[in-house]
Chain A
Amino acid sequence: MNIEGLDPSILAPAFIAGLVVLMTHIPLGYEVLRRGIIFIDIAVAQIAGLGVIIAYTVGWDEHGLEAQVAAVISALLGAWILSWLERKYGKHQEALIGTSFILAATGGILLLANNPHGGDHLKELLVGQILWVEWEQLFYAAMISICVLLTWVQFRQKIGNLGFYLLFAVAITVSVQLVGVYLVFASLIIPALATIGCSGKSGYGLPVIIGVSGYAAGLVLSALLDLPSGAVIVWTIAISALLIKIAMPVKTE
């Protein structure tokens, strides 16, 4: 047991980061599951990372605003291509998403290959860790996430296929920098997966309980057990999903 990490001023920003991510990822998660494209978050994050590496190799600053612009532009571009691919080759979409992930990942390796001391950290530039979150970053992320959520709630019927992909690209680029790839995947897929069979009337109540209790329990446990927070939270989200699943059996109509 280790109680010195149990400091609200250390854990609170991380917990709020979790809430910001859940805010967009729970509703988008249902859509991702419905379309059967669960690895799209990882592909889009990788494409955003590739964008930063390209920007760096042509001489842009790899920190600050320029990197953010590069990341968002390439994520949007990637999303646009993926939405076009879905329209054209819909039934192979999951395979195409997987392929674009490995192309983006290895593309980054090739671009950095002739760079002595290869911009090691560049590859991880866009992958945040939840405990490093700062209030200023959290503020911008929350603003963008609120816009994404409102757009999704208000116009989901009107924005169509392309609209979904573009919105998704923005949400993922923000959240990956906040909490990292594993937590993005967990927040997106697990709450939706655990509750997708439940009756529609419960709304977003159950997945929110899963997500929020997962983040809270994970942060406290990682402090007590002195373990990396991101990895612990992935497990506590999965465990709370399992508990909810057991407690609330699927309602058959």
Chain B
Amino acid sequence: MHFKTAMLCRIVLLLLWLPGAAQAALNVFACEPEWAALAKELGGERLEIYSATTARQDPHHIQARPSLIARARKADLLICTGAELEVGWLPLLLRKAGNARIQPGKPGHFLAAEHIEMLEVPVKLDRSLGDIHASGNPHIHTDPRNVMRVAKDLHQRLIEIDPDGVEIYTKRFETFGRDWQLAIDRLGKQSASVNDVDVVVHHDYWSYLIKWLNLNRVATLEPVPGVSPSTSHLAEMKQLLKTQPAEMIIDTNYMNNRPAKWLSDQTGIPVVTLPATVDFNNNETLQQWFTSLVDLIKEPTK
């Protein structure tokens, strides 16, 4: 018993000693690096930002770490994609955190997908079609115009939660908005050469990017995410690509690269492996990431 009390005291002392984020006004918990990076653009030093996943991690799945719960507990604002992308862990995390500020319906609960127009929303909601992505394709951050829309509403939300920072947020949003529009225009011009180019995708991660760059998706390698394609599907696709050869196979860096490599070996079509998101932990910015995407996509058409 004595030992237990002593241990408890030690833990409490450690917690008191915890170096608080005294300078930052708001603690931000981002589910994915892209929203962490966007928050940094909009709030700068005023925000203490934590990203629950890293750039090479699948946001569908996450291994629970104690720090994850600790960070969610002290967060003032949670920024996630929504659209059931984090359905496997976010509800559990929110319950464990028990933090009233970031529960659904509160201003501190910001879901990016609610602020843009979703693609691939199932017309008919039927159990036989599965219910996983009933709200549509959740990989919305792959179109910079979506990022702009989210930025607009996120900036409002920051002011709502932290009114004292209104000047900083307004100034930063104006700068960001101007730079971002210039970047969209610049990238649009640079990518003109890939306009209407035929592509094969591994799975539907890049739907928003495809729409933005006006690419033409001729086939999907893995029609059901996480399930290997059937033999007949592969044969069909090989046949299709023989008559209508695509320029490239678009793959994603955190996924298994073997299906894309297999198809490339079979057809001679080059694989382009795109980084799934911005590398926030290594201080990459959203603009740098989008620039690298456009550069990589232009590669095979040179």
Which A residues are CB-close (under 8 A) to B225? 117-118, 120
Which residues does chain A contribute within 8 Å of B65, judged by CB atoms? 5, 131, 222-223, 226-229
Residue in B8, B63, B70, B227 whose beta carbon sits within 8 Å of that of A118 in the complex: B227
A121 touches B66 (CB 8 A): no
A sample of 11 inter-chain contacts (CB < 8 A) reads A3-B14, A4-B18, A4-B70, A7-B70, A115-B130, A116-B129, A118-B225, A118-B226, A120-B225, A132-B92, A219-B66
Interface residues on A, range: 35 or more
B150 at the interface (CB under 8 A from A): no
Against A, the Cβ 8 Å flags (1 = close, 0 = not) of B189-229 are 00000000000000000000000000000000001111100
Enumerate chain A residues within 8 angstroms of B71, measured Cβ to Cβ.
4
B-chain residues with CB within 8 Å of residue A2 when the two chains form the complex:
67
Q: Give the contacting residue for A222; candidates B66, B92, B127, B129; CB below 8 A.
A: B66
User: Chain B residues near A130 (CB, 8 Å)?
Assistant: 64
Given contacts A131-B96, A134-B95, A222-B65, contact A117 B133 (CB under 8 A): yes
Indicate if the CB atoms of B130 and A132 lie closer than 8 Å.
no
Contact A132 B129 (CB under 8 A): no
Total contacting residues, chain B, CB less than 8 A:
37
Is the pair A120, B226 in contact by a Cβ cutoff of 8 Å?
A: yes
Chain B residues in 8 Å Cβ range of A210: none
Is B60 in contact with chain A by the CB < 8 A criterion? yes
A88–B132 Cα gap in the complex (Å)? 43
Interface presence of A197 (CB below 8 A): no
Closest A residue to B98 by beta carbon equals A9
Chain A contacts for B66, CB-based, 8 A: 5-7, 10-11, 131, 219, 222-223, 226, 229
Q: Does A49 interact with chain B (Cβ within 8 Å)?
A: no
Taking the closest CB of chain A, its distance from the CB of B91, in whole angstroms, is 10
Contact A129 B63 (CB under 8 A): yes
Mask, B117-156, CB within 8 Å of A = 1, is 0000000000111101100000000000000000000000
Q: Which one, A8, A117, A228, contacts B11 given CB within 8 A? A: A8
Contact A230 B63 (CB under 8 A): yes
B132 touches A118 (CB 8 A): yes
Bound CA–CA A236/B67 (angstroms): 19
- Closest CB of chain A to B189's CB: distance in Å? 36
What is the chain A residue whose CB lies nearest that of B127?
Answer: A59
A193 at the interface (CB under 8 A from B): no
